[in-house]
Amino acid sequence: MRKRVFSGIQPTGQLHLGVYYGAMKNWVRLQDTYDCIYCIVDQHAQTVEYDPTVLQQRTLEAACLYIASGLDPQKCILFVQSHVKEHTELTWYLSTIASLGQLERMTQFKDKTEQHGSSNLALLAYPVLMAADILLYKAAAVPVGEDQSQHLELTRDLAQRFNHRFGQVFVEPETLLTRGKRIIGLDNQGKMSKSKPEHTSIAMVDPPDVVWAKLRPAVTDPARKRRTDPGDPNKCPIGLLHFAASSQQDIDWVIKGCTTAEIGCIDCKKQLAVNIEAEMGPIRERYSELCARPDEVWAVLKDGADRARAVATSVIDEVRDVMGIKSPV
Ligand code: AQP
């Protein structure tokens, strides 16, 4: 039997290259060797201020991008979190064993509370909902970016605590990271993020002129004040993007050229723009085609939800059983 993988993305804004290289590209690779379940986590998107009139549109756009990137509904399950109600049911059960102190210490909770100037119960409970997403399918592995590692640790803690308290039900999932596990924003101030100003991230659907307008002024390693100063690609958002997006030959060219000042930052950016377009151009084209056929995409998501629910209901029955909740007869 194949091992199961689960992962998801919030439809909170334009999906960017951080999401693509940190998570999605890996998802596509894994669908040939794992039993993969990929979700659009729309209920996670409700944990901060959001516009109900755009959430549905963003959900559809995310689904189009999933398929355009190479996720094949014949090989994996694609669905929307809110279409399988067992996610929120399991969140409740897990919340009975989640420690308040541990949730309050989550970096993302602290960052988002500061960013939005307030918080709510759902934002605090976000990692419990994420744990429920994963544990509900007994996933063995979760491909995510590095920013989600802390939440994955909490997921394993909850699985362990639950199994210890009620009996062996859940699998403790491992975290799968990639070379693009932490793509930095083009201002070199922390990770590329949907909720940061648009010029600091490259959307997966940005056309080449927009990509270049963002890359050209992007901040690079501060050590490269002059053209002749050597730099470190590991301290530069452009270098880190090359590591995720470029061939080994180009990566070697960047490392040698940057650390010896043989190449300037503009050469490095130009090559990156070419490499991004080579990968994202075809995805952008397929994306536009899919956006023009929304009914077909919703149908894929409905079928995915039906398949996901079949797994989810059997696991939730096990959970109810060991927790002393009697299912209706
Ligand atoms: N910059 C990044 N580098 C590597 N991986 C990243 N991921 C996100 N940003 C980067 C990974 O992409 C997946 C989906 O992320 P998400 O939509 O669930 O939310 P997030 O991590 O909170 O991403 P954002 O862009 O910062 O969204 P907002 O602003 O809406 O909170 C995850 O696997 C994530 O690790």
Mean of pLDDT values over 105-115: 94
**pLDDT one-digit tens code per residue, 91-103:** 999 999 999 999 9
| Eight-state DSSP code of residue 220 | -
Is the Cβ atom of 148 under 6 angstroms away from ligand 1?
A: yes
Q: Model confidence at 34, in pLDDT bands (50, 70, 90)?
A: very high
181 is catalytic: no
Mean of pLDDT values over 266-276: 97
Looking at ligand 1, which atom is closest to the CA of residue 12?
30
Is the Cβ atom of 12 under 6 angstroms away from ligand 1?
A: yes
Cα of 196 from ligand 1 centre, angstroms: 11
Is-contact 107 150, C-beta < 8 A?
A: yes
Is-contact 16 201, C-beta < 8 A?
A: yes
Distances (CA, A) of 10 to 72, 126, 137, 149, 271: 19, 12, 18, 16, 30
Looking at ligand 1, which atom is closest to the CA of residue 195?
29
Residue nearest atom 33 of ligand 1, based on CA coordinates: 144
Find residue 36's DSSP bridge partners.
Answer: 5
Mean of pLDDT values over 283-290: 98
**pLDDT one-digit tens code per residue, 41-87:** 999 999 999 999 899 999 999 999 999 999 999 999 999 999 999 99
Cα of 11 from ligand 1 centre, angstroms: 10
Is-contact 238 220, C-beta < 8 A?
A: yes
For the beta sheet containing 4-9, the strands, ordered from the edge strand earlier in sequence to the opposite edge, are 77-80, 35-40, 4-9, 141-143, 174-176
Residue nearest atom 12 of ligand 1, based on CA coordinates: 19
Q: Does the pLDDT of residue 288 top 80, yes or no? A: yes
Cα of 114 from ligand 1 centre, angstroms: 17
Looking at ligand 1, which atom is closest to the CA of residue 10?
17
Distances (CA, A) of 252 to 45, 195, 234, 248, 258: 39, 32, 13, 6, 10
Q: Does the pLDDT of residue 327 top 90, yes or no? A: no
* SS3 track for 2-26: CCEEEEEECCCCCCEHHHHHHHHHH
**pLDDT one-digit tens code per residue, 146-165:** 999 999 999 999 999 999 99
**Which amino acid would we find at residue 26?**
N
Is the Cβ atom of 23 under 6 angstroms away from ligand 1?
A: yes
Q: What pLDDT is attached to residue 326?
A: 87
191 is catalytic: yes
Is the Cβ atom of 142 under 6 angstroms away from ligand 1?
A: no
Mean of pLDDT values over 272-285: 98
269 is catalytic: no
Cα of 267 from ligand 1 centre, angstroms: 28
167/164 Cα distance (integer angstroms):
6
Tokens of 311: 């797994």
Is the Cβ atom of 145 under 6 angstroms away from ligand 1?
A: yes
Tokens of 281: 């151009």
Mean of pLDDT values over 108-136: 95
In the chain the domains, ranked by start, together with CATH numbers, are 4-181+294-322 (3.40.50.620), 205-288 (1.10.240.10)
| Eight-state DSSP code of residue 184 | B
Is the Cβ atom of 182 under 6 angstroms away from ligand 1?
A: yes
Cα of 291 from ligand 1 centre, angstroms: 22
Residue nearest atom 7 of ligand 1, based on CA coordinates: 19
Q: Does the pLDDT of residue 328 top 80, yes or no? A: no
41/31 Cα distance (integer angstroms):
19
Is the Cβ atom of 192 under 6 angstroms away from ligand 1?
A: yes
Q: What pLDDT is attached to residue 118?
A: 84
Look at 328 and 275; give whichever has higher pLDDT: 275
Looking at ligand 1, which atom is closest to the CA of residue 180?
4
Q: What pLDDT is attached to residue 117?
A: 86
**Which amino acid would we find at residue 202?**
I
Q: What pLDDT is attached to residue 315?
A: 98
Q: Does the pLDDT of residue 116 top 90, yes or no? A: no
Q: What pLDDT is attached to residue 64?
A: 98
Residue nearest atom 26 of ligand 1, based on CA coordinates: 193
The length of the chain in residues reads: 329
Is the Cβ atom of 147 under 6 angstroms away from ligand 1?
A: yes
Q: What pLDDT is attached to residue 317?
A: 96
Contact residues for 115 (Cβ-Cβ < 8 A; gap 6+): 195
Q: What pLDDT is attached to residue 26?
A: 96
Helix, strand, coil distribution of the chain in percent, nearest 5: 60, 10, 35
Average predicted confidence (pLDDT) for the chain: 96
Looking at ligand 1, which atom is closest to the CA of residue 181?
4
Given its phi and psi angles, is residue 70 left (phi above 0), alpha (psi -120 to 50 degrees) or beta? left
Instruction: Give the residue among 190, 246, 267, 214 at the shortest CA–CA distance from 21.
Output: 246
Is-contact 119 112, C-beta < 8 A?
A: yes
Choose the residue to mutate in 193, 195, 240 for probing ligand 1, maximizing ligand atoms within 8 Å of C-beta. Answer: 193
**pLDDT one-digit tens code per residue, 167-184:** 999 999 999 999 899 999
